[in-house]
Structure 1
Amino acid sequence: MLFRVSSAAASAPAARLTPAVLVALGIVYVVWGSTYFGIKIAIGSLPPLGMLGIRFLGAGVILFAVLRLRGAAMPTARQWGASAVVGLLLLGGGTGLVTLAERDASSSVAAMVIAVSPLFAALFAQLWGERTGGREWLGIGVGLLGIALLNIGELHATPLAALLLILAPLCWTFGSQWSRHLPLPSGLMGSAAEMVTGGVLLLALSFIMGEKWGTPTAASLWALGYLILFGSLLAYSAYMYLVAHTRPALATSYAYVNPVVAVLLGVGFGSETLGTLGWVALGVILLGVILVAWPKKVPEVSSL
């Protein structure tokens, strides 16, 4: 599924849940929910920032090559610069900080803390004059209540990991909202340029921080391959489509569903546990995302 982002759509986000938006939401909800577990496996024998650099640079180069073969225009110097800004904020500050935090936090708690993203997105959207409706605020509040309930349970992180997980959505949501007002390449070329520049920046940070490379395990390599093809190439493109075509609260509503997927994987395949209160919290989280995602009653805007 290829998601084409048009400049017209970026200035007028869609109000209805069109088929393309629903597909993009499904991809981001499920695939990104699984990447927390994938990251945990990948950094078992790979350095965090270096692994991410390879992940995004690999996915970006693949997408860039395919688009160029299909006749897409080469980004201008100005567009490469804007892509580097977005790549640094989203991939370096957002995903990078989450990956560093997962050295001392479970994949489940990482996904749960990131669920504050819709709140930050709604706040940052005010900077560009976008309005968040009352039902969206209610959904955000309900979702955060679910996160609070979930964190009362057995899943905890160290203070440093918790700080990194709070800073990560700040970088991610600010970069997401700012990206709608930057001169980025059109369509999927924007995603490709952001991943290429973000990957290069992450590899540079890995070198500066002196990360050590050892012999990776087969499990880490398989996890890295999954993160490249699905977590980055597919899901990141779907997310940027949502950023351009939907309301901020809906575009970031993945943060309420990702914990459900992450917890199920952590409990099913990892050593994490979840009690009765945790499962109740997941139900509250799902209620929050329904409130956020429910379309507004305004004229339809085409997403294609």
Structure 2
Amino acid sequence: MNRRAWILFALVAVLWGIPYLLIKIAIDDLSPIVVVAGRVAIAALVLVPVAAMQGTLPALRGHLKAVVTLGVIHIVGPFLLITYGEVHISSSLTGLLIAIEPVLIALLMVRAEPLTPIRVAGLALGLVGVGVLVGLDVSGDRWGLLGAGMILLATLLYAMATVFVQRRASDIPPTALVAGTTTVSTVLLVPFAAFALPTAPVSGGAWAALLALGLLCTAAALLAFYRLIGEAGPSRAGLVTYANPVVAVLLGVAILDEPLRASTVLGFLLIVAGCWLSTRPTVPAAVDTPVHAQ
């Protein structure tokens, strides 16, 4: 990769590694539904004008059903599950569990991508890594198990959304698609968030975290990611999936004083190894890249 691609790679890794820390800060004073609705509304306010300036919005015509479906499984569902899940587990564990996404995509694509011994080994390693993280980090804590379950369900929805984009929405320009899904998500979430507005004073830190989630972790991160794909190609851009959990862990440990256990490191290494093996192409081909805001 050239210098610009490396800069974009580092930028996306950070922008998709910090949401879990910011969510932890925001939900101290704001309800999860307000955090999610505010985040996507801010992103939509940025992404819709960008798509309009690029002239890509007309491409959404005739694709309302696909945009609504994707908005639900790509943004509304995962964002809510992750934000509510973080009420019960650490931000670092959240980031690590989401790293299992490539393994789940491989499982969903098993009919299209034949299983080889290497891919089977990768799937097994990834699932063992999840078992290590959940079994050793939240063992005996039913609320922790609930939170981890929410994160894993969110990750499954992310994987389903990636497959859906490939099969049903690959002809829609990315900026238009993201602008459409964030707008649809805002429309779906804001009515519910209106009934959960804070009644007590909200700290400046919580508002700042919410603003950063929308502007940086959603809108800016997606735009930077698409630029990265253009500079380095989808295969290399997809490697950011392995980098942002490291950022999430380092921030959680350094800023929130979250524990860094040997099981955490072991589980992450198993997941990364599993993702790498399970996504190895069976024939020379471009690697499908998960595209989502963390």
TM-score, normalising length: structure 1: 0.75
Quote how far apart the aligned CAs of 1:79 are.
2.2
2:121 partner letter: L
1:85 aligned to 56, 69, 89, which one? 69
Once residues 123 and 226 of structure 2 are traced to their aligned partners in structure 1, the CA distance between those partners, rounded to angstroms, is 21
Partner of residue 160, structure 1: 146
> How many Å separate the matches in 1 of 2:223 and 2:281?
22
- Superposition deviation, residue 99 in structure 1: 0.5
Q: Secondary structure at the match of 2:110?
A: helix
Q: Give me the TM-score of the superposition, normalised by structure 2.
A: 0.78
Counterpart-to-counterpart distance in 1, 2:192 and 2:54: 32
Name the structure 1 match of 2:159. 173
SS of match in other structure, 1:100: helix
1:182 is the counterpart of 2:168:
yes
- Asked whether the 8 Å contact 1:253–1:293 carries over to 2, the reply is no
Q: What is the Cα deviation at residue 213 of structure 1? A: 2.1
Preserved contact between residue 20 and residue 91 of structure 2 (Cα < 8 Å): yes
Distance 1:258 1:300, change over 3 A: closer
SS across alignment from 2:16: helix
Deviation at 1:108, TM superposition (A): 1.7
Seen in structure 2, the aligned counterparts of structure 1 residues 299 and 251 have a Cα distance that, compared at 3 Å, is closer
Change in 2 beyond 3 A, CA 1:81/1:99:
same
Q: 2:156, 2:42 → 1: CA distance? A: 25
Partner of 2:47: 63
Corresponding residue to 1:267 among 237, 253, 258: 253
Partner residue, 2:292: none
State yes or no: 1:195 paired with 2:196: no
Matched, 1:224 2:241: no
Q: 2:128 aligns with which of 145, 170, 178?
A: 145
Q: Given residue 202 of structure 1, which amino acid in structure 2 is its aligned partner?
A: L
Say what the alpha-carbon RMSD is for the aligned residues. Answer: 3.7
Q: Say which SS state the counterpart of residue 181 (structure 1) adopts.
A: helix
Helix, strand or coil at the partner of 2:28 = coil
Partner Cα separation in structure 1 for residue 119 and residue 228 of structure 2: 16
Q: In structure 2, how many angstroms separate the alpha carbons of the residues matched to 1:246 and 1:121?
A: 15
1:16-47 per-position Cα deviation (integer Å, ceiling 9, x unaligned): x8999877765554322221111111122122
**Greater Cα offset, 48-57 or 161-170:** 161-170
Give secondary structure in 2 for the equivalent of 1:126: coil
Q: Distance in 1 between matches of 2:243 and 2:48?
A: 29
1:36-80 deviation per Cα after TM superposition (whole angstroms, max 9, x unaligned): 111111122122122211211221221211221343343444323
Distance 2:226 2:121 in 1: 25
Structure 2: how far apart are the matches of 1:269 and 1:91?
Answer: 27
SS at match of 1:180: helix
Q: 1:290 to 1:179 in 2, by over 3 A?
A: closer
Out of 180, 184, 198, the residue aligned to residue 213 of structure 1 is 198
Select the residue among 56, 62, 70 that pairs with 1:72.
Answer: 56
Equivalent residues of 1:52, 1:96 under 8 A apart = yes
The amino acid across from 2:74 in the alignment is: L
Change (3 A) 1:300 1:72: closer
Distance 1:18 1:137 in 2: 34
- Inter-partner Cα distance in structure 2 for 1:267 and 1:102: 15
Residues 1:137 and 1:61: Cα distance change in structure 2 (over 3 Å): farther
Given the superposition, is the C-alpha separation of residues 160 and 299 from structure 1 closer, same or farther in structure 2, using an over 3 Å criterion? closer
Contact 1:191 1:240 in 2 (8 A): no
1:252 CA drift (Å): 8.6
Structure 2, unpaired ranges of 5+: 290-294
Deviation track 1:231-253 (CA, whole Å, cap 9, x = no partner) reads: 10133356678999757xx9597
CA displacement at 1:278 relative to structure 2: 3.2
Could you say which residue in structure 1 is the equivalent of 2:35?
51
Letter in 2 for 1:228: G
Deviation at 1:288? 4.1
